[in-house]
Amino acid sequence: MTDEKKVKASDAKEEAKEVEVPKQFKKLVEEIEKMSVLELSELVKVLEEKFGVSSAAPVMAGAMPGVAGGEEAGIEEKSEYDVEITSAGDKKIGAIKAVREITGLGLKESKDIVDGAPKIIKEKVAKEEAEEMKKKLEEAGATAELK
């Protein structure tokens, strides 16, 4: 088994060498290649916090070129939505209650979300569930979007 693993590892290295890295990224790619999996994981977390992004989007974008159909990836991508509250509206208390119901968060956390609008309150939700959440928010007087 160890010989088999070595062969697979060498195949992976050969494939990695075939990728042409633009000159401006060569040094960065070389540094990343030297990192352990744990270090890479920590780097991803730092980048997520620093830039306020989620690694879910880059993973999806990275997975798309490997899909043969292209259109199939587009269909899969639209099956999950992020629910974002864009405005609390006139009935702020109703919006806070709706956010609490949807997220299960406490009163203070829900109020902070409503006060900080626009803010994503749920990520990667099935289309039907996302539409229900949007409807609840709108019934409470808030405005919401599905992304």
Q: What is the pLDDT of residues 1-19, one digit of tens each?
A: 445 444 444 454 444 456 7
Q: Is pLDDT above 50 for 118?
A: yes
* Domain count across the chain: 2
Q: Chain-wide mean pLDDT for the chain?
A: 76
**50 and 114 fall within a common domain:** no
Residue 111, number of CB atoms within 10 A of its CB = 18
- Residue 120's DSSP bridge partners are 84
Residue 32, number of CB atoms within 10 A of its CB = 12
To the nearest whole percent, how much of the chain has pLDDT over 70? 71
Residue 74 has what pLDDT?
Answer: 47
**103 and 136 fall within a common domain:** yes
Confidence of residue 20 (pLDDT cuts 50, 70, 90): confident
Which of 74, 108, 125 terminates a domain? The answer is 74
Assign 123 to helix, strand or coil.
strand
Can you tell me the mean pLDDT for 35-58?
A: 76
Q: Please give the C-alpha separations between residue 82 and each of 47, 130, 131, in angstroms, as whole numbers.
A: 20, 7, 10
- Residue 85's DSSP bridge partners are 119, 144
Distance between CA atoms of 28 and 38, rounded to whole angstroms? 17
Q: Is pLDDT above 60 for 24?
A: yes
Distance between CA atoms of 34 and 7, rounded to whole angstroms? 20
**104 and 66 fall within a common domain:** no
Residue 88 has what pLDDT?
Answer: 86
**52 and 13 fall within a common domain:** yes
Q: What is the pLDDT of residues 52-103, one digit of tens each?
A: 777 654 444 444 554 444 444 444 446 788 889 888 888 889 889 998 998 8
**38 and 96 fall within a common domain:** no
